[in-house]
Amino acid sequence: MKNEDLIKIAIDSMKRAYAPYSGFPVGAVIITKSGKIFTGSNIENSSYGLTICAERVAIFSAISSGEREIEKLVVVADTPEPVSPCGACRQVMSEFGDFEVILANLAGKYIKTRVSELLPYAFKLER
């Protein structure tokens, strides 16, 4: 699937965000190596720290559906430059491999990057 098509799916997901506190909806979509699509949007809470980002909702949806191999993650928000994922999401991404990540905005601008570029020297539980 083309990046532009994935960005459209992420924008649809962004419209389903629950972000009454920040007013900052975010959408995400994952395509797995098996070709399946999983979406996510940010879900906020009146206890602010319980908020979960769109990227993690999409990743957890894919993983809890039994998928383990992520091909690509796309994230979109209404920002002047393509939105950049938070540190917690970068760590969660790194758990599931060094996949491609597309950062986009509503103006159609996007950046292609990957997990190892977003989070170099990621923590791994190695003893």
For residue 102, the minimal CB distance to ligand THU (Å) is: 13
Shortest Å, Cβ 43 to ligand THU: 8
Q: Is 12 exposed, middle or buried, given 0-12, 13-18 or 19+ CB atoms closer than 10 A?
A: middle
Q: Is 51 in the site for ligand THU (CB under 6 A)?
A: yes
Q: Could you tell me which residues come within 8 angstroms of residue 27 by beta carbon, excluding any fewer than 6 positions away?
A: 10, 11, 12, 13, 14, 15, 16, 17, 39, 40, 41, 54, 75, 76, 77
Whether 117 is catalytic is no
> Which listed range, 4-12, 16-24, 109-117, 119-127, lies at the site for ligand THU (CB under 6 A)?
16-24
By CB under 6 A, name the one of 5, 22, 33, 95 that touches ligand THU: 22
Cα(12)–Cα(100) distance, rounded to whole angstroms? 21
Binding residues among 73-102 for ligand THU as defined by CB under 6 A: 85-86, 89
Nearest residue (CB) to ligand THU, 22 versus 34? 22
| Residues 6 or more apart whose Cβ sits within 8 Å of residue 37 | 9, 29, 30, 31
Active site positions, annotated: 55
Q: Which positions lie near ligand THU, rule CB under 6 A?
A: 19, 22, 24, 26, 42, 44, 51, 53-55, 85-86, 89
